Amino acid sequence: MTFRGLRGIIAAETALSEATPAGELRLRGYDIAALAEAASYEAVVKLLWDGDLPSAADLRAFEAALKARRTPPGFLLNLLRDLPPATPPMAALRIAISALPEADGRDLVALAPVLIAAHHRMRRELAPVPPDLTLGHAANFLWMLRDRPPTAQEARALDVAMLLLAEMSLNPSTFALRIAASTEAPLPAAVATALAVLSGPRHGGAGPLVMPVLRAIGTPERAGDYVEQERAAGRKIAGFGHRVFRAPDPRAAVLREVARDLSEVCGDLPWYEVAQALRHEMAARLDLHINVDFYYAPTFCLLGIPDDLHTALFAAARIAGWVAHYHEQRATERIIWPEARYIGPEARSL
Ligand SMILES: CC(C)(COP(=O)(O)OP(=O)(O)OC[C@H]1O[C@@H](n2cnc3c(N)ncnc32)[C@H](O)[C@@H]1OP(=O)(O)O)[C@@H](O)C(=O)NCCC(=O)NCCS
């Protein structure tokens, strides 16, 4: 018997989101593209946590609660400042969250982007930018990262990207978080577990690899040769493939338009044409579809977010879903504890 990475094994029940092989994703019953059209990231967090979209008054109160938690404690800034500059942003975020003595979901959602921005500036020997309490959640991240106010279009682009990344059923990091929750580990520890799992290049760690692929291709005419070269080397191409979706990822189509509206060129790279050519060349050879990383990477690039922050920002968005899964798991009484079939040597004497 092969385990095939637990493919097809039902390991939890969830009322939070539903992903289907046909390429559908619904959060609490609402289609993800419809949410991207009509809601904000903060509203989707409330949807996940409370079961329904908030009223205007509830949303305002929630936004205010997040803003009130946006200033990081001094000890966390000191901790991040003392890290070696080469510390990966995902590791810095995990260390900071692990160091929180206690924190609820609002603390973690509010603080994660702030910590990523502050760490990024400090590793470049720049002072952290204080949060701007007049800005929304996504806009404030851009402000703190870049030290200039985002345009309304930039702020909404990141808001939509974060909303799309907020939750996606069971997946490796969410499963890991649910295991931690089932042991009654505290919320920050469970989120730190999920952060560790998300960092791998087969999972959230694929995001930072997408722009280097597009840059390595450079011009649309080179896409075919690039795919051949990677296939010959037996390498997977970041941004393609998904365990659940056997059709294009529904979040990718939304993000393609968001990114394209920002610009079809990032730096010197005609990313849109190169991405189209790469999709075409992959489709001609493999029955594989793009995943969410394929267009969130150019979106982040166009917002001036460096490649190596991509997974951390994905994680900051996903904390919304993780917190909801944490509480859903805590409401069940059982510890998750599967078994292994022993295949080692028979019992023997020393
Ligand atoms: C996401 C991923 C881990 C899913 O893994 P999985 O469910 O185990 O899918 P499989 O590895 O069984 O894929 C089926 C086949 O397609 C191939 N394949 C999958 N993703 C591929 C990719 N991105 N590039 C090239 N080939 C790929 C596999 O090698 C496999 O071929 P085989 O049957 O000849 O061995 C995998 O597609 C991947 O590593 N993608 C690249 C990283 C990425 O973008 N991750 C973000 C996920 S949101």
pLDDT over 90 (residue 101): no
Does residue 137 have an active-site annotation? Answer: no
The domain segmentation of the chain, as residue ranges, is 32-199+307-330, 204-302
What is the DSSP secondary structure assignment for residue 318, as one 8-state letter? H
Q: Looking at domain 204-302, does it have CATH number 1.10.230.10? A: yes
Give the pLDDT mean for 159-181: 98
Going from the Cα of 288 to the center of ligand 1, the distance in angstroms, rounded, reads 8
Give the pLDDT mean for 50-75: 97
What is the tens place of the pLDDT at every residue in 307-345? 999 999 999 999 999 999 999 999 998 999 999 999 999
The CATH topology of domain 32-199+307-330 is Citrate Synthase; domain 1 (1.10.580)
What is the rounded CA–CA span in Å between residue 287 and residue 115? 39
pLDDT of residue 320: 98
Please state, for a pLDDT cut of 90, what percent of the chain lies above it: 94
Query: What distance, in Å, lies between the first and last C-alpha atoms of the chain?
Result: 31
pLDDT of residue 4: 85
- 264 burial type by CB count under 10 A (0-12 exposed, 13-18 middle, 19+ buried): middle
Given ligand 1 and candidates 3, 171, 213, 236, which is best to mutate, with the most ligand atoms within 8 Å of its CB? 236
pLDDT of residue 250: 96
What is the tens place of the pLDDT at every residue in 124-158? 999 999 999 999 999 999 999 999 999 999 999 99
pLDDT of residue 102: 85
Give the pLDDT mean for 97-104: 92
Given ligand 1 and candidates 202, 230, 249, 255, which is best to mutate, with the most ligand atoms within 8 Å of its CB? 202
pLDDT of residue 205: 85
Does residue 242 have an active-site annotation? Answer: yes
Same fold, 32-199+307-330 and 204-302: no
Q: Of the given ranges (14-23, 77-86, 239-248), which has the lowest mean pLDDT?
A: 239-248
**Mean pLDDT rounded to a whole number for the chain:** 96
pLDDT over 90 (residue 86): yes
Going from the Cα of 214 to the center of ligand 1, the distance in angstroms, rounded, reads 18
Q: Which residues contact 333 (CB under 8 A, 6 or more apart)?
A: none
Q: How many CB atoms lie within 10 A of CB 153?
A: 10
pTM of the model: 0.95
pLDDT of residue 333: 81
- Nearest in space to 300 (alpha carbons), one of 147, 158, 167, 163: 158
pLDDT over 90 (residue 73): yes
What is the tens place of the pLDDT at every residue in 184-226? 999 999 999 999 999 999 999 889 999 999 999 999 999 999 9
pLDDT band with cut points at 50, 70 and 90 for residue 1: low
Closest residue to atom 25 of ligand 1, CA basis: 236
pLDDT over 90 (residue 97): yes
The set of protein residues with a Cβ atom below 6 angstroms from ligand 1 is: 5, 202, 206, 236-243, 286, 288, 291-293
Instruction: Quote the longest CA-to-CA distance of the chain.
Output: 72
